[in-house]
Amino acid sequence: MSVKFLIVDEAHRSLSPKFRELYRNVEYEYLLLLTATKPHNPDYWEFMQELAPVIKEKSVEEALVDDAISDFKIFNVEIGTDKSSSNKYNL
């Protein structure tokens, strides 16, 4: 497949070894990766930077001031787990 402009929204989800086939199998002249989530995996971050270096960053605080995102509240709800789940998730 060949396209002039490839735009990938939620690009942090397209960095796994399997998903990288997209970038190998689609020919593109221009590439725009959009994400609000910096990959935690250093390999994923490095790969993303090689594909399309960051040109604009904005903190959550800046985005709230600019009305780029809605105000939000974070709720932590404690739930009980069985021993097997606790061990699996290191709780």
Q: What is the pLDDT of residues 42-71, one digit of tens each?
A: 999 999 999 999 998 888 899 889 998 888
Residue 91 has pLDDT above 70, yes or no: no
pLDDT given for residue 18 in this prediction: 92
Q: What is the pTM of this model?
A: 0.66
pLDDT for position 48: 94
Check: CB of residue 64 under 8 Å from CB of residue 38. no
**For residue 86, what pLDDT is reported?**
76
- Percent with pLDDT over 70 in the chain: 98
Burial of 35 (0-12, 13-18, 19+ CB in 10 A): middle
